[in-house]
């Protein structure tokens, strides 16, 4: 399996998850999320992938996740969020290059910026790990606030962790 396939699999897991929850659960402000919602976490994930894929096709090839476009419809409208995930999956099918890019990010609250060399595949790997991290957070929220929602064992668990547990027999 390559990075695109792993990312598409993760995004399909998000679509399945969205199908399992009610709109009220999707947009509920939860204490374990510091008052944020499941929808906001999903929006955050989606926007990182969107920004990477937009940067990939941009002439400047600069990835600056801090400057991503925020679309609040994604965090309040389950069907819209699912449609954005489907678009990402489709775009990942076409993105098959290890294009060199420049990553720009903020180092301080005063706005000091840093630029470093990266590649599309490196950023795709980052997005995959970033998604797992947010799914682990969402798993805690679901278990705490909505235990009736079924989650697979692998939801929010890194592939390396699952492999390690498989080899350890745990």
Q: Domains in the chain, start-ordered, CATH in brackets?
A: 3-168 (1.20.120)
pLDDT of residue 127: 96
Distances (CA, A) of 70 to 59, 73, 80: 21, 9, 14
When comparing pLDDT for 60 and 18, which is higher? 18
163 burial (CB, 10 Å; 0-12 / 13-18 / 19+) is: exposed
Give the DSSP H or E segment for 103.
strand 100-106
Mean pLDDT of the 50-73 span? 86
pTM of the model: 0.90
Condensed to tens digits (0 to 9), the pLDDT of residues 79-131 reads 999 999 999 999 988 776 778 899 999 887 887 889 999 999 999 999 999 99
Strand pairing class (113-119; 62-63): unpaired
Q: What percent of the chain has pLDDT over 70?
A: 93
Residues 6+ apart with CB under 8 A from 149: 20, 21, 25, 142
pLDDT at 163 over 90: no
Q: What value does the mean pLDDT of the chain take?
A: 90
């Amino acid at each position: 399996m390559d990075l695109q396939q792993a990312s598409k699999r993760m995004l399909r897991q998000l679509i399945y998850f969205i199908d399992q929850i009610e709109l009220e659960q999707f947009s509920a402000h939860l204490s374990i999320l510091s008052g944020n919602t499941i929808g906001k976490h999903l929006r955050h994930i989606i926007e990182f992938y969107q920004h990477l894929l937009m940067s990939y096709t941009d002439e400047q090839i600069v990835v600056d996740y801090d400057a991503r476009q925020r679309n609040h419809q994604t965090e309040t409208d389950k069907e819209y969020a699912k449609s954005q995930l489907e678009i990402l999956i489709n775009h990942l099918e076409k993105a098959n290059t290890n294009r060199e890019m420049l990553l720009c990010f903020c180092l301080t609250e005063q706005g000091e910026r840093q630029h470093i060399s990266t590649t599309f595949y490196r950023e795709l790997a980052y997005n995959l790990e970033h998604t797992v991290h947010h799914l682990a957070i969402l798993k805690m929220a679901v278990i705490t606030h909505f235990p009736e929602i079924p989650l697979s064992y692998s939801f929010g668990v890194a592939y390396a962790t699952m492999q390690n547990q498989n080899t350890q027999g745990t």
